[in-house]
Structure formats: structure tokens, C-alpha cells
Amino acid sequence: MQDLRAISDRLLAAIAGHSPEGVAACYSQGQATYLPGGEVVHGREGKVELLKGFFRAFPDLMIELDRVLVSDNNIVCVGSMRGTHTGPMATPEGELPATGRRVDLPIA
């Protein structure tokens, strides 16, 4: 079994370095990311594409974890995602131009 806390440290470092591939490597191939509006992104490849879009739209994107819970072979990270929307963002309805607004979203 891997050191799950080390995985959360690698995750934060990959996010800080804006490395979509590094972030995706911290997840299982069967991962699913649930987004507001009901969209679901599956697999590491989907995670990479999603993050490329987030890093483009929010070049200052940062994650801060408030809690890291480890039990058996499971890990849950709870925190906030913060950034400024200064780049275009792809949405199901089309591309959303930069708004200049800051976001602070709870994540788990």
C-alpha cells in the first residue's frame, strides 16, 4: 500500500506546478470527477484535459487542503480551490471569456 499522505503532498505539488499529468497520476485510472451542472469526467485522460482547461482559465489556480483523511486504502482531501478567471474557459455551452473574477470553491 502506498503512503496516502505522500499522494496528497504530490497532488498539491502538481497543482502548484500546474502539471495536469502530475495531478492525474495521483488518481486511479477509474477516477470520476463530478462537476457542477452534472458533468462527469472519467479516467486520468479526462482529468488531464479538464485541468488543462482550468489552468488556462485560472493561471493563478491554487488548492488549499483543510483536512486529509486516511483510512485503510482510502484518502479524502477537503479544502478550497481559489483563482482568478483571467483566461477563456470551455463550457458545455461554449467558451466563456475571462471575467476577471476571483473564485473560492469548496472541494473534496
Per-residue pLDDT reduced to its tens digit, 69-92: 888 878 888 999 999 999 999 887
Long-range contacts of the stretch 71-77 (C-beta < 8 A, 24+): 73/1, 73/4, 74/4, 75/4, 75/5, 75/7, 75/8, 76/108, 77/8, 77/11, 77/107, 77/108
Reported confidence tier of residue 2, pLDDT bands at 50, 70, 90: low
pLDDT confidence tier of residue 4, bands split at 50, 70 and 90:
confident
Task: Please give the pLDDT value at position 9.
Answer: 87
Question: What single DSSP character describes residue 51?
Answer: H
Neighbours of 83 (CB within 10 A): 19
For residue 58, give the nearest of 81, 75, 32, 27 by alpha carbon: 81
Determine which of 2-11, 12-21, 77-86, 88-97 has the lowest per-residue pLDDT on average: 2-11
* Chain mean pLDDT for the chain: 90
Whether 93 has a pLDDT exceeding 80, the answer reads yes
Closest to 77 measured CA to CA, from 90, 87, 63 = 63
Q: What is the pLDDT of residue 53?
A: 92
Q: What's the predicted TM-score (pTM) here?
A: 0.80
Looking at residue 5, the DSSP 8-state letter turns out to be: H
CATH architecture for residues 4-107: Roll (3.10)
